[in-house]
């Protein structure tokens, strides 16, 4: 099995405080992995480390074999990132924003190709040429997904993707993730949404105070059991 | 509740390290300004006092001379530094310090500080007024720009409003809080300034000095109030701290850096003043040929001489009981001085036209109003300068006519060589100048004071109206 | 390189839609145009005043003709006639008025003792002088930095605050590339403004596009880079937009206002100038004392300087002009050392202020621009020295009439020496000022790079 995303003893400390403690993780091609945990558990730190935005105190974060701390620019050839709030240039249209992001990744597409990506990501055709300032959160997220597809990313890093989405948009989003996964994209998602996590992921990690304390096969538990397990961990 | 908000603003300002640092910098600059102002005052005042007394001494100790010689030897008027000039140099560095007073001609006031300096002086001068006009408003902006926007951004405004306080009450409380904070910096500074004022005047209490200082301080308080209230208003009208700050800084730059220069240059472009050479040539021409060229001096002199002969019933000028030379000289001096004064008044009127724009603009820019009042109270504005020039000319005229009179009465006709005893000249009082009275200075800036009062009412009114009008509170 | 091009393209797209940025540019351009107009107008006023002198001069000659129809004693002419030393501005002076508005553009000169004729002032409005000229140099020295700050204070913080930075950096893009693109874009914008305004100024005022234009642009562009570098150094701290705005305005205030003001105070306190007052008073005593000294003594002293006239006729008895001009001349000579000391004091003040101004790039730029335009105190002192030399030429012209007892014919006015001065640009001073600006640039660039290196290892 081909390992696409790998954390090896990945740690991050800020002075005395440990934000992430020796994380070991391996995701294979097409796998969807969800990380559950309260605020401050280290989920965002993990994502920032894979993005190369911050330097690990120990260990390594690798994507497609590229160490994020050693080659923070090269690693981004292989990944796409969707923050909780996909913020785009408000004065530019969805298409223009996508054009900028994919061009920076080295892909210069024709206008029709750009539109194609946006429509496939689920954006209504009439919104493509409108300024992003008028977009909803879900619409902006779709531009983010389109950018991920357009740069042919092997890994998708998602930070709280479903928070603030209405149930319909959230459902559409889950389906989109499953489609991307089926096409071979590895997806790493930090979330609070136990229900969605169980629905789309193969594996679920539970994180507390910087440590990964359990890894669960999502197929083995139903939503209620998973929630109970999570709450038990948080108590103890 | 209101008191609590006021207290909160005061406490958080003094817990803000950046505010403390900025406030201290400003206090240090204020003290530096006071120190340099006082040194500058002492150096210049002593220099001019010495120059004036040397001039007087020279005049009193001159050898025996013919009166007309003395009229050409002349005298000097040195402009004394006004005691409060250390608060605000105003135009002092840009105005001549010395006028050479002699018969027949009115000389320019020379040796201004700016003519003896490089262009660096044009960047401004370190005075208390500079710190108060430029820097304290910035401190105020820094203190208040996010007073409402931060409450927005952090959601605390909702909490306050949900406690049943009105927006208007919050604004008033904030206003009060910031007034207290700024007072804690400004009032001690004013106290020191007051001590300096007393010490520089050798602790002699002088009502005009006290009144000038009082108006100076009171109008600055209004100026600061305008900035505090204005900043709070802008903060309330903006959603983000960033935009509120940029707006306020933009206003500061526009009203303090950009607009005064633009207006004063525009005024000077609109009203062109004649050159000194052209003015002197006109005075010369008009004294020679009469104002409209129909009344030549030669003809007038002829008539004058004829009149004298008839009056004293004599045949020739040498038989007159008085020396006609002195009388003729006096006649010429009278006529040319009158014509000069007319031209000078015209020139001053042109300058007033040039400056009018900047003075009226006090109604759109409080900086221009306070600048005007501040200079006036310090005795360093245009009005005070012109008053000095007029006093110098008045002295010149009186001295010249006194000497002409001596010639008419003590020297014989056509006698150009006899000398009068020096003590005759020494008995003439030296040039002594005291600036305009407080009330005159005050009246001269009444428009600026009205402008400042207008601004005070305007910003306060706007806060109340805005807060009452705001239906959607957040 | 390709990424840079893409980013520049998008900076441009963004810029076009950002109303506040476009407004800043317009405001800057408007101020620039007004500065050009206003400087040009100020110069026009000075030229009008100079142009009016010819008429006054001719009227005076006509009056002399009426007074002395055939021929005259040159002494009467020396007393009643005056000529003008003219300080013609170069067209470049419109771009940086400098000290031209405080110094007279001409001096009215008679044959009498010259020392009290050199420091006369022109009619000026002190409030206008104190407020200062709104010329193009003001726009460049004061407003250009504010413009640069306005378009770059939120260089990075805006991206952070609107949340686009993380998304951008999730692309294979270095923060330094993004930074560079933003700097290059802004520099191009600033350079375009500076060049546009400068070219407009040259066309409008007719200033010659010679070496001075090169110095002018070089100095201003270096200055612009200095402020851009400062903005970058602050931006690299990755703090909020409000923090950046306040810090940058603080730096501006420190360098453009407070430092020059303190330098000025230091100059005044350490080198007060009293020599001018002394000079006139001492000279007056010397000149008027001439009346009371024995005539022979005066003439002997005079002949020491002018042995060629020592066989002139006696001055004893009735008043003779040649004796009068002799003691006028001696009066001037008696204060020659004071004159030199006074001039030296002003030069000392100038060089002290200039040396201290290395800490303030704005003051330095002003000095460079005034040097290019030839409008500093230095150039006025040159004019004064030139006028003094002109007075010597007048003496050389009139003395033979006086001391060889020749009548002055009215037609001789045509041969009277004239004097027009136009200041040459001060290339040495400008060049050394440009070097200082260059050094400031190196310093701030190193600082910016250091700040960037130490603060952007991790995204905050």
* Distances C210 to C41, C140, C157, C191, C214 between C-alpha atoms, Å: 22, 20, 42, 19, 7
Give B72's pLDDT tier (boundaries 50, 70, 90).
Answer: very high
Q: What is the Rg, in whole angstroms, of the alpha carbon atoms belonging to chain C? A: 30
Among A53, A66, A141, A161, most C C-beta atoms within 10 A, so best to mutate, is A53
Q: Is residue A1's pLDDT more than 80?
A: no
Report percent pLDDT > 90 for chain B.
61
Lowest-pLDDT choice from B198-207, B243-252, B270-279, C427-436? B198-207
Give B9's pLDDT tier (boundaries 50, 70, 90).
Answer: confident
Query: What local confidence, expressed as pLDDT, does residue B473 receive?
Result: 52
Contact B123 C143 (CB under 8 A): no
Report percent pLDDT > 90 for chain C.
79
Q: Does the residue C381 lie in any domain?
A: yes
| pLDDT tens sequence across B187-243 | 988 998 888 888 887 777 788 899 999 999 999 999 999 999 999 999 999 888 888
Q: How many domains does chain C have?
A: 1
Kindly identify which residue of chain C lies nearest to residue B416, measuring between CA atoms: C319
Q: Is residue B472's pLDDT more than 60?
A: no
Query: What local confidence, expressed as pLDDT, does residue C406 receive?
Result: 92
Q: Which residues of C touch A12 (CB under 8 A)?
A: none
What is the C-alpha to C-alpha distance for residues A115 and A177, in angstroms, rounded to an integer?
20
Kindly identify which residue of chain A lies nearest to residue C159, measuring between CA atoms: A89
Q: Which residues of C touch B47 (CB under 8 A)?
A: 272, 274, 277
Contact A101 C167 (CB under 8 A): yes
Contact A87 C6 (CB under 8 A): no
Query: What local confidence, expressed as pLDDT, does residue C312 receive?
Result: 86
| pLDDT tens sequence across C160-195 | 888 888 888 888 888 889 999 999 999 999 999 999
Q: Does the residue C95 lie in any domain?
A: yes
Helical (H) or strand (E) element with B373:
helix B366-378
Task: Confirm or reject contact between C132 and chain B (CB < 8 A).
Answer: yes
Q: Is residue B471's pLDDT more than 60?
A: no
Minimal CA–CA distance to C144: which of C1, C297, C252, C56?
C252
CB interface of B with C, residues 94-133, below 8 Å = 94-98, 100, 107-126, 130
Task: Confirm or reject contact between B355 and chain C (CB < 8 A).
Answer: yes
Q: Is residue C460's pLDDT more than 70?
A: no
Task: Confirm or reject contact between B43 and chain C (CB < 8 A).
Answer: yes
Report percent pLDDT > 70 for chain C.
100
CATH fit for domain A3-235, picks 3.40.50.10890, 3.40.50.300, 3.30.70.890, 3.40.640.10: 3.40.50.300
Per-residue DSSP letters for A68-102? TTT-TTGGGGTEEEE-SS----TTSBHHHHHHHHH
Query: What local confidence, expressed as pLDDT, does residue B1 receive?
Result: 64
Q: Is residue B292's pLDDT more than 70?
A: no
Q: How many beta carbons lie within 10 A of that of residue A57, not counting itself?
A: 15
Contact A81 C7 (CB under 8 A): no
Contact C121 B275 (CB under 8 A): no
Q: Is C343 exposed, middle or buried (CB count within 10 Å of its CB: 0-12, 13-18, 19+)?
A: middle
Kindly identify which residue of chain C lies nearest to residue B93, measuring between CA atoms: C130
Q: Is residue C366's pLDDT more than 80?
A: yes
Kindly report the three-state secondary structure assignment for every residue of B416-452.
CCCCECHHHHHCCCCCCCCCCCHHHHHHHCHHHHHHH
Q: Which residues of C touch B272 (CB under 8 A)?
A: 45, 48
Q: Does the residue C460 lie in any domain?
A: no
Q: Is residue B142's pLDDT more than 80?
A: yes
Alpha-helical segments (H) within B16-166: 17-60, 67-73, 128-130, 136-144, 149-154, 156-162
- Break chain A into its structural domains and give their ranges: 3-235
Q: Is B390 exposed, middle or buried (CB count within 10 Å of its CB: 0-12, 13-18, 19+)?
A: middle
| B241 → closest Cβ in C45, C131, C242 | C242
Q: Which residues of A touch C172 (CB under 8 A)?
A: 73-77, 104-106
| pLDDT tens sequence across A48-78 | 999 988 899 999 999 999 999 898 888 988 9
Task: Confirm or reject contact between C172 and chain A (CB < 8 A).
Answer: yes
| pLDDT tens sequence across B406-437 | 999 998 888 888 889 988 999 999 999 999 99
Touching status, chains B and A (3+ beta-carbon pairs under 8 Å): no
* Distances C197 to C22, C140, C204, C316 between C-alpha atoms, Å: 16, 10, 10, 68
Q: Could you tell me if C114 and C388 are in contact, meaning their C-beta atoms sit under 8 angstroms apart? A: yes
Q: Which residue has the higher pLDDT, A114 or A162?
A: A114
Report percent pLDDT > 70 for chain B.
98
| pLDDT tens sequence across C123-169 | 999 999 999 999 999 999 999 999 999 999 988 888 888 888 888 88
Across B42-51, B60-69, B435-444, the highest mean pLDDT is recorded for B435-444
Q: Is B226 exposed, middle or buried (CB count within 10 Å of its CB: 0-12, 13-18, 19+)?
A: buried
Q: Could you tell me if A79 and A68 are in contact, meaning their C-beta atoms sit under 8 angstroms apart? A: no
- The CA distance from A227 to the nearest CA of chain C, in Å, is 31
Helical (H) or strand (E) element with C109:
strand C106-109
């Amino acid at each position: 099995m081909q390992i696409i995303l790998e954390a090896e003893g990945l740690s991050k400390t800020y002075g005395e405080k440990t934000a992430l403690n020796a994380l070991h993780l391996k995701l294979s091609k097409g796998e969807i992995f969800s990380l559950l945990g309260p605020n401050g558990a280290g989920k965002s730190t993990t994502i920032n480390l894979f993005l190369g935005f911050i330097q690990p105190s120990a260990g390594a974060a690798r994507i497609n074999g590229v160490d994020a701390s050693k080659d923070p620019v090269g690693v981004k050839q292989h990944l796409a990132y969707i923050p909780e709030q996909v913020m785009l240039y408000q004065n530019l249209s969805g298409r223009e924003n996508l054009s900028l992001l994919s061009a920076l990744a080295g892909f210069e597409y024709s206008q029709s190709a750009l539109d194609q990506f946006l429509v496939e990501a689920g954006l209504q055709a009439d919104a493509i040429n409108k300024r992003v300032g008028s977009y909803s959160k879900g619409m902006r997220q779709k531009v983010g997904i389109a950018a991920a597809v357009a740069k042919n990313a092997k890994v998708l890093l998602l930070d709280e993707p479903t928070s603030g989405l209405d149930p319909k948009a959230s459902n559409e989003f889950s389906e989109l993730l499953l489609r991307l996964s089926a096409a071979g994209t590895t997806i790493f998602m930090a979330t609070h949404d136990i229900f969605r996590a169980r629905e789309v992921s193969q594996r679920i990690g539970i994180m507390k105070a910087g440590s990964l304390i359990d890894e669960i096969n999502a197929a083995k538990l139903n939503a209620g059991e998973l929630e109970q397990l999570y709450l038990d961990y948080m108590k103890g | 509740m209101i008191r609590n908000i006021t207290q909160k603003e005061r406490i958080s300002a003094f817990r803000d390290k950046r505010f403390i640092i900025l406030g201290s910098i400003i206090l240090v600059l204020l003290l530096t300004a006071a120190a340099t102002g006082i040194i500058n005052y002492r150096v210049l005042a002593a220099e001019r006092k010495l120059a004036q007394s040397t001039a007087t001494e020279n005049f009193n100790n001159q050898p025996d001379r013919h009166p007309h010689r003395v009229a050409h030897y002349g005298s000097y008027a040195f402009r004394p530094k006004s005691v409060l000039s250390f608060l605000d140099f105003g135009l002092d560095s840009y105005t001549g310090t010395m006028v050479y007073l002699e018969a027949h001609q009115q000389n320019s006031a020379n040796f201004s500080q700016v003519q003896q300096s490089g262009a660096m002086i044009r960047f401004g001068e370190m005075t208390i007024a500079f710190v108060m006009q430029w820097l304290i408003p910035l401190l105020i902006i820094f203190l208040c720009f996010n007073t409402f926007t931060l409450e927005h951004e952090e959601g605390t405004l909702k909490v306050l409003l949900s406690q049943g306080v009105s927006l208007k009450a919050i604004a008033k409380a904030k206003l009060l809080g910031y007034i207290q904070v700024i007072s804690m910096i400004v009032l001690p500074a004013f106290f020191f300034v007051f001590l300096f004022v007393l010490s520089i005047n050798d602790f002699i209490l002088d009502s005009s000095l006290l009144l000038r200082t009082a108006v100076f301080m009171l109008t600055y308080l209004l100026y600061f109030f305008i900035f505090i209230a204005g900043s709070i208003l802008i903060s309330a009208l903006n959603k983000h701290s960033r935009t509120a700050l940029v707006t306020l800084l933009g206003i500061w730059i526009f009203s303090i850096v950009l607009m005064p220069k633009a207006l004063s240059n525009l005024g000077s472009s609109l009203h062109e003043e004649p050159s000194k050479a052209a003015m002197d040539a006109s005075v010369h021409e008009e004294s020679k040929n009469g104002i409209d060229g129909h009344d030549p001096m030669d003809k007038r002199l002829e008539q004058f001489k004829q009149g004298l002969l008839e009056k004293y019933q004599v045949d020739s000028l040498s038989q007159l009981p008085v020396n006609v030379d002195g009388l003729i000289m006096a006649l010429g001096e009278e006529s040319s001085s009158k014509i000069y004064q007319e031209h000078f008044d015209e020139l001053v009127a042109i300058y007033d036209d040039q400056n009018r724009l900047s003075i009226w603009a006090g109604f759109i820019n409080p900086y221009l109003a306070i600048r005007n009042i501040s200079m006036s109270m310090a005795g360093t504005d245009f009005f005070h300068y012109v008053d000095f020039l007029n006093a110098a000319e008045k002295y010149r005229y009186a001295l010249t006519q006194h000497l002409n009179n001596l010639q008419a009465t003590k020297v014989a006709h056509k006698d150009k060589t006899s000398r009068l005893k020096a003590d005759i000249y020494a008995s003439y009082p030296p040039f002594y100048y005291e600036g305009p009275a407080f009330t005159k200075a005050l009246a001269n800036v009444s428009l600026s004071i009205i402008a400042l009062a207008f601004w005070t009412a305007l910003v306060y009114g706007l806060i109340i109206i805005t807060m009452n009008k705001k239906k959607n509170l957040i | 390189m390709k990424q840079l091009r893409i980013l520049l393209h998008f900076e441009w797209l963004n810029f076009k839609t950002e109303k506040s940025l476009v407004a800043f540019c317009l405001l800057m351009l408007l101020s620039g145009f007004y500065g050009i107009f206003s400087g040009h107008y100020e110069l026009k006023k000075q030229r009008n005043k100079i142009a009016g002198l010819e008429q006054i001069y001719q009227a005076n000659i006509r009056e002399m003709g009426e007074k002395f129809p055939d021929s005259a004693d040159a002494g009467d002419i020396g007393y009643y006639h005056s000529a003008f030393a003219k300080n013609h501005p170069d067209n470049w002076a419109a771009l940086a008025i400098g000290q031209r508005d405080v110094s007279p553009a001409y001096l009215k000169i008679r044959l009498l003792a010259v020392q009290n004729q050199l420091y006369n002032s022109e009619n000026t409005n002190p409030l206008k002088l104190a407020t200062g000229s709104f010329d193009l140099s003001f726009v460049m020295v004061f407003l250009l930095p504010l413009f640069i700050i306005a378009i770059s204070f939120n260089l990075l913080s805006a991206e952070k605050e609107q949340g686009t930075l993380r998304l951008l950096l999730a692309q294979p893009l270095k923060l330094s590339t993004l930074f560079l693109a933003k700097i290059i874009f802004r520099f191009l914008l600033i350079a375009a403004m500076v060049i546009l305004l400068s070219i407009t100024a040259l066309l409008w005022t007719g200033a010659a596009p010679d070496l001075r234009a090169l110095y002018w642009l070089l100095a201003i562009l270096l200055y612009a880079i200095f402020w851009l570098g400062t903005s970058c150094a602050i931006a690299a701290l990755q703090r909020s937009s409000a923090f950046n705005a306040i810090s940058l305005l603080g730096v501006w205030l420190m360098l453009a206002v407070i430092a020059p003001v303190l330098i000025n105070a230091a100059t005044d306190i350490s080198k007060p100038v009293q020599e001018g007052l002394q000079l006139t008073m001492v000279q007056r005593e010397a000149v008027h004392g001439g009346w009371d000294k024995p005539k022979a003594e005066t003439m002997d002293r005079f002949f020491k300087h002018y042995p060629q006239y020592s066989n002139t006729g006696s001055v004893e008895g009735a008043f003779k002009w040649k004796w009068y001009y002799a003691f006028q001349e001696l009066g001037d000579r008696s204060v020659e050392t004071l004159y030199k000391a006074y001039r030296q004091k002003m030069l000392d003040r100038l060089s002290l202020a200039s040396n201290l101004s290395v800490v303030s790039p704005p003051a330095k730029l002003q000095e460079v621009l005034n040097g290019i335009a030839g409008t500093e105190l230095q150039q006025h002192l040159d004019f004064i020295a030139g006028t003094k030399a002109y007075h010597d030429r007048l003496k050389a012209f009139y003395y033979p009439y006086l001391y060889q007892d020749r009548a002055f014919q009215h037609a001789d006015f045509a041969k009277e020496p004239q004097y027009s001065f136009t200041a040459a640009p001060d290339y040495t001073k400008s060049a050394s000022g440009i070097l200082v600006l260059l050094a400031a640039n190196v310093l701030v660039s190193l600082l910016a790079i250091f700040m960037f290196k130490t603060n952007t290892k991790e995204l905050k």
